[in-house]
Amino acid sequence: MRQRGYCEDGLVARVAIELENCSYTYDGRVRALREVSCAIEAGSWVALVGQNGSGKSTLAKLCNGLLRPQQGRVRINGVDIRHRPVGSVAREVGYLFQNPDHQIFAPTVREEIAFGLRNLGFPSPEREQRLWSALEAFDLTAYADHPPAVLGFGLRRQVTVASLFAWGPPILILDEATQGLDWERSERLLDRLRERQDAGHTILFITHDMRLVAERASRVMVLHQGKLLAEGPVREILARPDLLARASVSPPPVTHLSQLLRPWGMKGESLTVEDFYCEYSALLAEREGV
């Protein structure tokens, strides 16, 4: 049983999620995952990227018990989950579906958010406190008594996110969480996730938004045709255009621009506009002898 790994600074870190040679095939024909092994350390923010059909959602569902590997093992905090009920795993691993309609079922927003709290046995006073904190955090107070099914897509997405945040599992797996959200609401969600990470929660974030990967994640896993092509620090992975092209993934425009300027002295590792500005300004100053 492996419960420890090593951070980039050499310190010992606890592994929150571990997959060991995991494979999964749908209906005996569609091979979604092929002997994937990886370890996600506790407290990290890992982005899972790859084109549609690469196996991202399948991997995520293995991590919370919705699917069971047909080969290999999944461990959560060092414990093999193969024989654990989904409800038991859900106490440790919260999962946000890509489509909010796959999660919403209650007659009101209030009851939707309260369901998980009640199901997990939170006492009434704490349940109410968590419910209203989640409603306020995601600007849903005015919709508390509305049927969530009649709300717009962005609001339905916020309802499902608020439901997850209300009971606060130590591991959060989110599939395209910012899809359907405007910039302001997307940034607010990402800031809330950063707060959870700072408090020690582990985040596995599936996304096609490479700008988000560059600005928010600490590590990235690249999937292609069910195989794990690479895993490592974001700056290191995004600096490999050959790898990304193989997975049909494009780096953020600012990263791509910095790579095009490598012949003129840029390192090709800029993740943000600020990164690019600082390196380019330093390069100009050096050439001008300032």
Instruction: Return the amino acid letter for 111.
Output: E
35: left (phi over 0), alpha (psi -120 to 50) or beta: left
Sign of CA dihedral 64, 100, 174, 255: positive
pLDDT at 11: 43
pLDDT at 6: 40
CATH homologous superfamily, domain 1-92+170-184+202-241: P-loop containing nucleotide triphosphate hydrolases (3.40.50.300)
Six-digit token string for 26: 């749908």
pLDDT at 148: 95
pTM of the predicted model, to two decimals? 0.89
pLDDT at 13: 59
> Given the structure tokens 């997850």, which residue do they identify?
164
pLDDT at 90: 87
Residues 48-84: b if buried by 16+ CB within 10 A, e if exposed: bbbeeebbbbbbbbbbbbbbebeebbbbbbeeebeeb
CA 151 to CA 120: how far, in whole Å?
26
From first to last of its 290 residues, the chain has per-residue pLDDT tens of: 334 444 444 444 599 999 999 999 998 888 999 999 999 999 999 999 999 999 999 999 999 999 999 999 999 999 999 999 988 898 899 999 999 999 999 999 999 999 989 988 899 899 999 999 999 999 999 999 999 999 999 999 999 999 999 999 999 999 999 988 899 999 999 999 999 999 999 999 999 999 999 999 999 999 999 999 999 999 999 999 999 999 999 999 999 999 999 999 999 999 999 999 999 999 998 888 75
Task: Map out the domains of the chain as residue ranges.
Answer: 1-92+170-184+202-241, 101-168, 252-290
CA 244 to CA 135: how far, in whole Å?
39
Neighbouring residues of 88: CB distance < 8 A, sequence distance ≥ 6: 65
Neighbouring residues of 197: CB distance < 8 A, sequence distance ≥ 6: 43, 44, 45, 203
pLDDT at 290: 54
What is the radius of gyration, based on Cα positions, of the chain?
A: 20
